[in-house]
Structure 1
Amino acid sequence: MRYLKVIWRHDFDDYPVELYSELDNEGYEVRKVEIYRSGRRDYADFAKSTGQTGLGEIPVPSIEEIAEQEEFTPAWINADEFERVWDLAVLES
């Protein structure tokens, strides 16, 4: 598994500003957390989703492709950081 964090810079309150994804070897999302400017956290996995969050139906683009869009800042993170964010989102639901 690989873990990706993307900061999304925008002015919309209805869209997340941080996206965390757990990716399988083919780049498909297995779990995902979206954090909003208000602090709300939504999440999705194969069994459950909250808010408007859902798993992508196609593989996530490469980190280089994501970084080409100036509003996004992607970074690989470790499993521990993802699990911390995941646990907080699940506890809040």
Structure 2
Amino acid sequence: MWYLRCFWSHEFAEEAVEMFSEVGADGYECRKVERFRDGRLGWADERHEVGGTSLGEVPVPPLDEINAQREFSASRIDGDEFERIWKEAIAGQGD
């Protein structure tokens, strides 16, 4: 299991600008939180999709591949940082 934080620089009003993912050993997202430009948080896990957020349908690419696209800035984070944003998201949104 590893954790990812990715900033997405774009002008799409309805798309997330920051994403947090918990990635399993198989490379697929297990849980995900998205922060939108207006500050709202969406989240998803294997049973829930809240606020327009869903898990990816393909494995998460390696960090160097993500960062090769200039609109993205991705890095690994620790599990504690992911858990903080996860708890904030599920407390604020419900299911």
| TM-score, with structure 2 as normaliser | 0.95
Task: Give 2:77's aligned amino acid.
Answer: I
Map of 1:32-51 to 2, 5 A cutoff? 32-51=32-51
Task: Give 2:28's aligned amino acid.
Answer: Y
Aligned-residue CA RMSD (Å): 0.7
Unaligned runs of 5+ in 1: none
Shift in Å, 1:56 = 1.1
**Structure 1 residue 75 corresponds to structure 2 residue 94:** no
Aligned length: 93
SS of the residue 2:49 aligns to: coil
CA distance in structure 2 between the partners assigned to 1:24 and 1:46 by the alignment:
12
Task: Give 2:53's aligned amino acid.
Answer: T
The answer for the alignment partner of 1:16 in structure 2 is 16
Cα deviation 1:11-55 (Å, max 9, x = unaligned): 122000000000001210000000001000000001111122111
The answer for the alignment partner of 1:66 in structure 2 is 66
Unaligned runs of 5+ in 2: none
The answer for the alignment partner of 2:53 in structure 1 is 53
CA distance in structure 1 between the partners assigned to 2:16 and 2:57 by the alignment:
19
Shift in Å, 1:63 = 0.5
Identity fraction in percent: 46
Which has the larger strand fraction? Answer: 2
